[in-house]
Every structure is written in structure tokens, then in C-alpha cells.
Structure 1
Amino acid sequence: MNGIYKIIEKRKIWFTISLIIIAVGIFTMATKGLEYGLDFKGGTVVEINIGGTFNKNDVDSIIKKYSDNFQSTKTNEHSVTIKSTNLSNNNVSSIVKAIKSKYKKSSLTSQNNIGASIGKEARVNAIEAIIVAICAMFIYIGIRFELSFGIAAIIGLIHNVLVMLSVYAVLRVSIDSSFIAAALTVIGYSVHDTIVVFDRIRENQKYMRREDPELIADASVTQTLARSINTVLTVVITLTSVYILVPSVRNFSEPILVGIISGCYSSICIASPSWVLIKKHLAKSKKLKAVEDKTN
């Protein structure tokens, strides 16, 4: 068949690329660990109403005098949110006074202290949420399609989560509740993209029954490739615009951006080749069992 991209036969290249990224990420996590945000590590979240327009760099320079480890976000034109793991109540008071001396109308809007035990509980709950989501996806795909599709989809999902964690570990970006929400969003998007390819594979199996699974998968990926790329490009353009123009939601848009690109890649280059390998393994096992039955 002409015009079919040979994606599956190059699976060793795709698998190697993913393994290198994940291996570097795992090594970084093993040696340096992950950078956890306040939601998972504990700390202080302070919101200050400046009372008018302000220069964020000026506010950051004030905060640096009292904390060497903080994140500040311009919530809107008149407010700033400060997150830090080492801010005492006295430091918060000093920051508010210093900002108020520069911006007369400023005032403390809220102050929340997150304990380490609460952060640990949130971390455990986040991991459980991702595991439950992956298991639910496996059951759904296994029922709607067949076991081989379900296993391949789970491989793709785990791949996406590991790639996201690896990128965050290497770049030393903090992981918080926004990351978990983004990860669950990416899992849903990735499964949707994978199901589109798997649905085409299932359809093509009806008309290509005697063909090799590799050829069926290549034909299906080729037929859905333009749709997958166009879809991910529109999402990437939107997320990039949000990332640049809306700083307050960068903690959410950043992991989604990484995950969407990884999800498109995995549905084409990881999940589909994995389905072929599983399908061939099951067919081989079936033949061996048939031979053994005949021998006995």
C-alpha cells in the first residue's frame, strides 16, 4: 500500500528517545528529588492588595529581603500572591509594612499556613488520584476495545506521566496541586487521542484481516496523523498564548503544554507500536498453545 508512513517499524527509535528522557528524569529524581510546591511541602501563602497598579519587580525586591525561597504571582492588576516555605509571621508583617511604605493603599488580604503533614497527605491523595484515573481508563478501553488496546493505552499514559515528571525534575520546576490537575487533564486528552487511533485500527482490522498488525497500525496512524497533529497544534497555540499573556495560570498551563505534546507523541509513537508488540505476542502464544494441544 502506497502513501503509508512507516511509523511502527521505527519503534526502536521512538522507544529509545522516550527511555533516554525518562532515564534522565529518574536519575535526577533519585539524586536530587522533586521540587515540591507549598501544597505538598508546607509553607505560607500570602495575598496582598496593593491598592492600585504596581511593578512586580519592585515588590519582589522587597520580598527578597525577608525570604530567599519564594514565588510571587501577580494575581491581577492590584494584587500579588506570595508563596514561601520559610516565611514567619514576623516576616509577613515586615513585608506588608515595607510594601505599604512604598504603596500607601496596600493591605494584607489573606495569610494561610500549610503544615507539612497536610502537604504529605495532599501528596498521597494526588498519587492515588492519578492511579485511580489510569486504572479507570484501562477498564474503559479494555471493555470498549480489547485487552491488547487497554494495555497499550496504559503504557502510553504511564509514559506521559513519567515524561512530565522527568521534565519537571530536570528543569527543577516545583510540583503542586496545579500540576496534578494538569496531569489528570493530560491523561484524559491523551486517552482521547489514543482512542482515535485505536478506533481506526479496529475498523481497519475488519478490512485487513490477513494483513500483519504492523501494516494495520501504520495505515491507521497515517489516516489519523493529520488530525492528531492539527488538534495538538491548536491546543499548543492556545496554551502558549495563555502562558505568555496570563502569568497567574502558568503553574497550570505549563504542565499541560508539556503533557499535550507528550500525549500526541505517545499515541502515535508509543501506544500504537506497543499494541503491535502485544498483538504479535498474543498471536504467538496462541499458536504455541495450539501446537502443544495438538502434540498432547
Structure 2
Amino acid sequence: MKTLIDRQFDFMGKRWVAFAISGLLILASLVSLLLQGLNLGLDFTGGTLVEVRYAVAPSLDAVRQTLEGAEFRDVSVQTFGATNEVLIRLQQAFDPEVGNRVVELLREGGDRVDLVRAEFVGAQVGDQLRDQSGMGLLVALGIVMLYVAFRFQYKFAIGALLALIHDVIVVVGAFSLFQWEFDLTVLAALLAVIGYSLNDTIVVYDRIRESIRKSRIDDMPAIFNEAINLTLSRTLATSGTTLLVLIALLLLGGDMIQNFSIALIFGIVVGTFSSIYVAAALLLSVRLQREDLIPAKKEDPEAEELP
């Protein structure tokens, strides 16, 4: 019986199915972004942060219900560090007494609660963070394209860039579709996804380039299949071990890094898919040929004139 490592998969033969799946994911993501938008966190929208410390770890749902019952809007409650320390996010204008009001409300349930801090994140700061983060993503993608074009060839750069854009759109679309909070930790995860997916794509591209140079045939889909199958075990092992760590962070890391973990999990899955299918298959769409990597030798006219 052949193992997964020994078995040869026809990835390029199924590339149109993969393109259809990617197209549907991108379409769903764009529609969700247009209709629902992102559930932006206080880092981008502005609002009030209140940190309190309980004597005994409280029920986060009970804290949220208490504050919503007092007509606080868009309440987000999560543990911060220890289980008895709670971070409350309120999307409202800052009031110097808001911290004391929150503590008084929470003490009405008989719990011993102390105020640690109450801070305001201005909307102007949120606008600057949003603009700078968007510019950071564009700069990162531009540098990636230049790097791949310099290391390989411009057709490789097109494939890598489109694959990375695909990954970013799908991950952001998932946060829009499920209305998970999008904050700076998720943005950091997106940049990490770009780096991870690029690394995976470079490994596949490097093997494709090597296979093209060594192969004696001109059947590009067959060459690509061979190259991807040679890197498949490495790709799955890397993605699998990374996912195990991220799942552990999601389950045990607490609410502060929950969205960060979710973004990375989605990014690793989508990035692995795009490295195998999207990035490699796009090289066929842009008609990569052996001559792009191995220029034909020019004939020496002087040698032809010799008797």
C-alpha cells in the first residue's frame, strides 16, 4: 500500500476545481464585506476600556448582562491575564466617572470588585491605526512581489502576489461573515499569515524551478505535479504542527488572543491551500515556459562561417 508520501496526486489536473473554490470564497468574502463590513474593535473605532479585578473569578456572561442591563452599548468582556481580572470594552464617549459606575454596578451582585484602570481610545487614533495598518499590508505585499520577482522571475511574482491577496481576502472575509471582532491582534495575525504563506509558496516555487531545469520534458502540469508532490510531506508536516500549537492557544490562551488564534488558524489552512493550488496553478495561467528560466543559447555567427 502506498503511503501519503509515496502517492502522486494530480494537483494540476484539479486546478479548475480549486480555482472555482477560491472564486467562491473570494466572492463570499467580498459580498460579506460590502453588506456587513467588519466588526472593528476599539483599536479602530474608539471607545472606553475599563479593567477591573474580582476577588473570585466571575462569569463573563453575567458581567456582560449586568452592563447591558444598565444600557451600556456594544459591551465586550474578556479576561485579562488572570481569570479574576476582567477587561471591559465599551464603544461610547469617555466619561471620567465611567470606571466607578461600572464598578458600582458589578458590586451590586455582591462581588468584591476593584477598579484597576479606565482609559479612552480616541476615534482619531483609530482612524490613524486603520490607515496605517492598510498601508502596512500594501507595503508588505509590494515588497513580497519585488522579492519573488528578483529571486525567481516576474511570472512567479504575479502568482505569489495573487495567492497572498487571496489569503488576506478570505481571512478578512471570514471575520466579516461571522462578525468576529477585528482588532490589532487580528491585523498582526494577517501579517503573520502573509509571511507563513509566502514561505510555503517559496518552497513550492523553488522545487518547481529546480524540476523545470532538470526535467527533459515540456509538460508543465506534469512537472508541477512532481514538484508539489515532492514538497507535500514537508508542507503538511509544517502546517499540521503549526495548527496544533494554534489550537492549543485557542483553547487555553484565554480571550485576549482568541481572535488572533482564529485568524492564524484560518490563515494557515487557506495559505496551505493557496500554496499548493493557487500559487502554482497560476504559473500555468501566465504561461510559464522553460525558456523563462533557461534562455535559449544564441548561435555564434562566427562559428558558422568556419570551414
TM-score by length of 1: 0.89
Equivalent position to 1:205, from 212, 216, 219: 212
Q: d(CA) in 2 for partners of 1:263 and 1:237?
A: 16
Shift of 1:163: 0.4
Corresponding position of 1:62: 66
Shift of 1:213: 1.9
The answer to whether the 8 A contact 2:40-2:182 is kept is yes
The answer to whether the 8 A contact 1:157-1:191 is kept is yes
Corresponding position of 1:71: 76
Q: Do the aligned partners of residues 281 and 145 (structure 1) sit closer, same or farther apart at CA in structure 2, a change above 3 Å counting?
A: closer
Shift of 1:65: 2.0
> What is the DSSP-based 3-state SS (H/G/I as helix, E as strand, rest coil) of the residue aligned with 1:198?
helix
Q: Do the aligned partners of residues 282 and 30 (structure 1) sit closer, same or farther apart at CA in structure 2, a change above 3 Å counting?
A: farther
The answer to whether the 8 A contact 1:51-1:103 is kept is no
Shift of 1:103: 5.8
> What is the DSSP-based 3-state SS (H/G/I as helix, E as strand, rest coil) of the residue aligned with 1:78?
strand
Q: Does 1:264 align with 2:272?
A: yes
The within-5 A match list for 1:217-236 is: 217-236=224-243
1:231-283 deviations in Å (ceiling 9; x for gaps):
11111121112111122310211111111111000000100001122234897
Shift of 1:145: 1.4
Shift of 1:7: 0.8
Q: Does 1:141 align with 2:133?
A: no
Q: Do the aligned partners of residues 211 and 281 (structure 1) sit closer, same or farther apart at CA in structure 2, a change above 3 Å counting?
A: closer
Q: d(CA) in 2 for partners of 1:281 and 1:24?
A: 34
> What is the DSSP-based 3-state SS (H/G/I as helix, E as strand, rest coil) of the residue aligned with 1:137?
helix
Gaps of 5+ in 1: 285-296
1:186-240 deviations in Å (ceiling 9; x for gaps):
1000001111111111111121153222211111111111221121111112111
Q: Normalized per residue, which structure has more helix?
A: 1
Q: Does 1:82 align with 2:88?
A: yes
Moved over 6 A (4+): 281-284
Q: d(CA) in 1 for partners of 2:180 and 2:136?
A: 21
Return the letter of the residue paired with 1:74. T
Q: Do the aligned partners of residues 237 and 210 (structure 1) sit closer, same or farther apart at CA in structure 2, a change above 3 Å counting?
A: same
The CA RMSD measured in Å over matched residues stands at 2.1
Corresponding position of 1:94: 101
Q: Does 1:239 align with 2:243?
A: no
Shift of 1:131: 0.7
The answer to whether the 8 A contact 1:44-1:112 is kept is yes
The answer to whether the 8 A contact 2:192-2:264 is kept is yes
Corresponding position of 2:261: 253
Aligned length: 283
Shift of 1:151: 1.2
- My pick for the range that moved more, 231-240 or 55-64, is 55-64
Q: d(CA) in 1 for partners of 2:195 and 2:36?
A: 30
Q: Does 1:7 align with 2:11?
A: yes
Return the letter of the residue paired with 1:48. V
Return the letter of the residue paired with 2:91. T
Q: Highest CA radius of gyration, 1 or 2?
A: 2
Corresponding position of 1:277: 285
Q: d(CA) in 1 for partners of 2:244 and 2:75?
A: 29
Corresponding position of 1:126: 133
The answer to whether the 8 A contact 1:41-1:120 is kept is yes
Identity %: 28
Q: d(CA) in 1 for partners of 2:194 and 2:161?
A: 10
Q: d(CA) in 2 for partners of 1:255 and 1:17?
A: 20
Return the letter of the residue paired with 1:126. S
The answer to whether the 8 A contact 2:15-2:281 is kept is yes
Corresponding position of 2:298: none
Q: d(CA) in 2 for partners of 1:245 and 1:276?
A: 43
